[in-house]
Homo-oligomer: A and B are copies of this chain.
Amino acid sequence: MAATPSQPTSRTRSWWGWGWTDAHPDDAECTAMGALLPGTLGRPLPVPRVRDLAIARPVVEPPRSLADLVSDEPRDRAAHAMGKAYRDVVRALRGRPGRIPDLVARPTDERGVADLLDWAGDHRVAVVPYGGGSSVVGGVEYRGDAHRAVMSLDLTAMGRVLEVDTVGRAARIQAGTLGPSLEDQLRPHDLTLRHFPQSFEFSTLGGWLATRAGGHYATGRTHIDDFVQSMRVVTPAGTSSSWRLPASGAGPSPDRLFLGSEGALGVITEAWVRLQERPRHKASAAVAFTDFHDALRAVRALAQSDLSPANCRLLDAGEAALSGSAQDGSAVLVLGFESADEPVASRLERAVGLARSHGGRYGGATGRDGAAAGAPSGDAAVAAWRSAFLRMPYLRDGLARMGAVAETFETAATWDRIPALIEEVRTGIGEAALKATGYPATVNCRLTHVYPDGAAPYFTVLAAGRAGDEVALWDDLKAVAGEVLHRHRATITHHHAVGRDHRPGYDRQRPEPFALALRAAKGALDPRGILNPGVLVD
C-alpha cells in the first residue's frame, strides 16, 4: 500500500492545523499574540507530533485489486482524522484527535471510487469522502462505533480539468481538483470559475459542491450551487449523471439533491461548471462609518440596488481593527467592482455615493486611494482585509496553542432580524465567556455576503480558554450562539455546511417532512449506511 499524493507541491501541509507548516506562526509569535488576550497561557502548547499518537494497526485490509489506491501510513491516516475547525486543532494539540481512519484511499478514476464503495459496503467499512480536508464543522471525521472500520476517501488524485467548452464557457472538472490547480488549468483558456472561499488553497471542487460553499462574490450568485451545469455522483446504488443544461424545469433538480449532501448520499466525482471571462476592469474603495447601524442600512441599499458589487464586505469596528482596515472605532465597508466588459469606475462612484448618503465617510476627493479623517484608503483597506482574511486561520491556530478560544461561525437571516441578531450573539457569547472564564471575550462581526432580502453575518470569537477543557468551553459558547440563531430563525450555516458540529441546530431548522424525505433518499442510495455516517441523517 502506498501513499500517492497528487497535485504535489514542495510545501508541506500540516497534519493537525491549517494550511502550510511553513506559514504557521512560530512560538514567539504565538506568545506575542497570547499576550494580547488576557487569561491565555504564558507559553504555547507544543506542536503535536504524529509519533506521540497511539495509532492502532488497521483492522481491515483492502483486496489486492485496490491495494494501490490505499495507504495505511500513520501520518497520512492522522492527517485524515479530522477537518480544521478550532475544536479539531485543539483536540490534536491536546493529543486527543478524532478517530484515526484505518485507511486512506486515493482513487484515480470513477471506477476506483465505485470499487472502493462496493468493497466498503461488503465489509461494513464507513467511508468518509475527503477533498481538501478544510471542513470546519466536523464534516470529514468518523464519530461512532457502528462500523467495523473507517476509510477516508481522498479525492485529490482526481484533480484534472477534463474538458473546456469555450463557446458556452464551461468546463468538466474532476471533484478532487484543488482551487489553485483548478484556476491554473483554466488560465490558458482565459476563463475562470471565480470561486474563492477562504479555504481556496486547501479545498476542492467536490468539497465546494458537497457543502454548498459560498464564494467570491459578495452579492448576487455566489454559492457554488449556481455555477453547476451537471454532476456525476457515485452512489452505492449506481452512478448519477445529470445532463449539462443551462436551466431546466423537469421535476425537482437532481443536482440540488446532491449539492449540500456532504458525502452522505454519494461521492461527487466530477461536474460541469459555468465559467467566466477573467475580469479586465477592477476598482475598489473603503468607506468608514461611525455608526454600525448606518453601515447596515448602507449595505442593504447597495444590495437592493442594481449595482452588483463583487465585494461588499462590512467589517464592524472590532473586525476592522483586527484586519488593520481602521483603528479608530469605525466600521468599514470594503467595496469592489469587476467586469470583463466595461470600466467599473462609474459603478463604484455610485456605490460610494449611496454609502455616503447613509453616513459613510470616503476620502475620494484626494484620489483613488485618498482618505479623509478616519476613513481608510481604498486599495490599502482592501489589501489589509484580504491579507488578514487569508492569514486568519493560521493566527487562530497560534491562539489555540496559547490555550485561547479562537473560532468563527457564520449564519444568514433576513434584514429585519440582522441588527438584533448581531447584538444578541455579541452579548450572549460575551456574557457566557466572562462567566465561564472570568475574562472578557472579543466578539467581532462582518457581513461576508449580502442579498436584497438579507445578509450573512460572520462572527469571530476570541476568548480566554479553560486549560485542558477548551473544546467543551467552545461547545458551550457555540450553544449560546445557536440559541440566538434559532430564536431569530437564522440558518445554522450560510456556507460552512452542517457536518457533525452543527447537527443539533440543523435538526431543529430543517422541516420534519424534509427530514423524512432525506432519510428515505439516503436509504435508497446508501442502503448499507456506509457513506459519511452521522452527517445530515442518522
Which residues of A are interface residues toward B (Cβ below 8 A)?
A: 165, 167-170, 211-214, 221, 223, 229, 233, 235, 237-254, 256-262, 265-266, 274, 276-277, 300, 304-307, 339-342, 350, 412-416, 449, 451-456, 489-498, 502, 506, 509-514, 516-521, 523-525, 536
Contact = CB atoms under 8 A, between A and B. Distances in A.
Given A414-B229, A514-B257, A250 B506 contact: yes
B512 A516 contact: no
A249 B342 CA distance: 32
A282 to B, nearest CB: 13
Contact of A524 (B221, B237, B265, B519): B519
B249 A257 contact: no
Q: Which 10 A-B pairs have the closest CB atoms?
A: A246-B454, A517-B521, A520-B520, A246-B451, A520-B524, A240-B511, A256-B256, A240-B513, A254-B514, A248-B491
Given A266-B513, A414-B168, A511-B240, A253 B260 contact: yes
Contacts of A248: 412, 491, 493-494
Given A214-B249, A252-B257, A244 B489 contact: yes
A311 B114 CA distance: 46
Contacts of A266: 513
B242 A453 contact: no
Contacts of A253: 256, 259-260
Contacts of A489: 243-245
Given A229-B453, A251-B506, 6 more contacts: A165-B414, A211-B249, A212-B249, A214-B249, A245-B489, A306-B342
Nearest to A241: B511
Given A246-B413, A250-B492, A494-B248, A452 B165 contact: no
Given A251-B260, A513-B239, A518-B252, A246 B455 contact: yes
A509 B250 contact: yes
14 contacts: A165-B416, A168-B414, A170-B453, A214-B249, A237-B516, A244-B489, A245-B412, A251-B260, A251-B510, A256-B257, A257-B257, A266-B513, A306-B341, A520-B523
A449 B247 contact: yes
A525 B490 CA distance: 26
Contacts of A244: 414, 489
Contacts of A229: 414, 453
A420 to B, nearest CB: 13
Contact of A256 (B252, B265, B509): B252
Nearest to A495: B249
B306 A339 contact: yes
B249 A491 contact: yes
A483 to B, nearest CB: 15
Scoring A212, A239, A453 by chain B CB atoms within 10 A of each residue's CB, the highest score goes to: A453
Nearest to A344: B306
Given A306-B339, A416-B165, A525-B513, A498 B260 contact: no
A250 B502 contact: yes
Contacts of A525: 513, 516-517
Contacts of A350: 342
A494 B248 CA distance: 4
A259 B233 CA distance: 22
Contacts of A243: 489, 491, 509
A489 B497 CA distance: 32
A148 to B, nearest CB: 25
Contacts of A260: 249-253
A239 B248 CA distance: 27
A512 B237 CA distance: 9
A167 B251 contact: no
A493 B240 CA distance: 20
Given A240-B511, A517-B257, A416 B167 contact: yes
A252 B252 CA distance: 12
Given A241-B511, A524-B516, A259 B252 contact: yes
A306 B221 CA distance: 13
A247 B511 contact: no
A523 B518 CA distance: 11
B413 A245 contact: yes
